[in-house]
Structure 1
Amino acid sequence: MPKIVDHDERRLELVDATWRIIARHGLEGATMRDIAMEAGFANGALKPYFPTKDTLLEFAFGHVFNRTNKRIADVTQGKSGLEALRAFCLEVLPLDEERINEARIVIPFWQKAVNDPRKAEVHQESMDKWTADIRRCLAEARDSGDVRAGVDDAVIAGQLLNMLLGAQIEAALAPARRTGFGHAAQLEGFLALLAK
């Protein structure tokens, strides 16, 4: 009887292998052969799922974004305002090795998106969703009196999003195994300014 293959599971195994290879060797050092070997598959087994490294990278970015959003949904459930905003940001910030590796996937995707309109669109859709989520939390925090800053919420949301993305860049470019960047304290400092 032929083995039944779970194609979604195999795609995720390949994405996980991609993360590990990129984390160790960078995007340029990640060959399709190495990714297949890391996942325990023959090189040709990747082609039906990801015909090129580019398609694999796009899928990996989408998976990272969806995974982050799942964590955000879990930690913000039942929360609102500043409490939800803090929880949201802590899931995006690269505070551990897993989230630093996610940043190592995202940054090569951004590099490709500079000259690829499709990837730029995928990135913009992701950032639009995060901006809307941040603005919703800010509006709730204003309603409760926790945010009193005299700066427009659109500006605050942009500042906060840029801080989160900048933290990902800093962590991804840092020497291996370094995780102490002070990002959580920086977030608390930023949120404290919103109450003034």
Structure 2
Amino acid sequence: MPKIVDHDQRRLELVDATWRIIARLGIESATMREIALEAGFANGALKPYFPTKDDLLTFAFRHVFNRTNERIAEVTAGQSGLPALRAFCVEVLPLDEERINEARVVIPFWQKAINDPDKALIHRASMEQWFAEMLKYLSEAREAGTISTAVDDATLVGQLLNFLLGAQISAALAPDGRVEPGLNEQLEGFLALLGC
């Protein structure tokens, strides 16, 4: 009887192996051969799942985004306004090894998206989704009276998104997966200014 293979599980195993290699050695070392070796598969076993390294990187980016969104949904469930916004931002910030490794996958994807319209579209759609969620939380906070700044909500969301994405770059460049100090404090400082 032939062995039944869970294709979705196999893809996730390959993505996890890709993350480990990128975190340890960088994107250039994440060859299909190295990824297969890291995952414990023969080199040719990757082709049915990811014909090219580019396909694997695109899947890995989508997986990072989906995983982050799952965490966000969990921590914001039943919350609104500033508590929901704070929880959202904390899940994106690279505050532990897992989220630093996610940043190390996302940044090479951004590099490719600069010259690849399809990848740029994936990134843009992801950021539009985050923008809409964050805007909703800010609107709720303004309605509740916890935000009084005259700066409009769209500008505030833009500032927060730039902070979150910039934090990912800083974390990916930090030596030995070290978390950048003060990210939580910077977030709290920003949120405190909203009441001005």
TM-score range, shorter chain: over 0.9
- Measured in 2, the distance between the counterparts of 1:59 and 1:169 equals 20
1:135-174 alignment, distance < 5 Å: 135-174=135-174
- Measured in 2, the distance between the counterparts of 1:123 and 1:158 equals 15
Q: Match for residue 133 of structure 2? A: 133
1:45-194 alignment, distance < 5 Å: 45-194=45-194
Structure 2 residue identity aligned to 1:159: Q
Query: How many residues end up aligned between the 2 structures?
Result: 196
- Measured in 1, the distance between the counterparts of 2:181 and 2:12 equals 30
**CA deviation map 1:150-181 (0-9, x unaligned):** 00101000000000000000000010131142
**CA deviation map 1:116-157 (0-9, x unaligned):** 000000000000000000100000000101111100101000
Q: Match for residue 2 of structure 1? A: 2
Structure 1 residue identity aligned to 2:81: G
Question: 4+ residue runs of structure 1 moved beyond 2 angstroms?
Answer: none
- Measured in 2, the distance between the counterparts of 1:108 and 1:35 equals 16
- Measured in 2, the distance between the counterparts of 1:26 and 1:180 equals 19
**CA deviation map 1:43-77 (0-9, x unaligned):** 00000100110000000000000000000000000
Is this contact kept in 1: 2:171–2:177, CA < 8 A? Answer: no
Structure 1 residue identity aligned to 2:13: E
Structure 2 residue identity aligned to 1:116: D
Query: Structure 2-normalised TM-score?
Result: 0.99
Among all aligned residue pairs of Structure 1 and Structure 2, give the percentage whose two residues are the same amino acid: 73
Structure 2 residue identity aligned to 1:173: L
Is this contact kept in 2: 1:17–1:35, CA < 8 A? Answer: yes
Structure 2 residue identity aligned to 1:168: Q
- Measured in 1, the distance between the counterparts of 2:135 and 2:82 equals 11
RMSD (Å), alpha carbons: 0.6
- Measured in 2, the distance between the counterparts of 1:168 and 1:21 equals 18
**CA deviation map 1:21-46 (0-9, x unaligned):** 00011111111001001111000000
Is this contact kept in 2: 1:171–1:181, CA < 8 A? Answer: no
Structure 2 residue identity aligned to 1:40: G
Structure 2 residue identity aligned to 1:127: M
Helix, strand or coil for the counterpart of 1:61? helix
Structure 1 residue identity aligned to 2:174: A
Gaps of 5+ in 1: none
Please, which moves more after superposition, 47-56 or 174-183? 174-183
Query: Structure 1-normalised TM-score?
Result: 0.99
Gaps of 5+ in 2: none
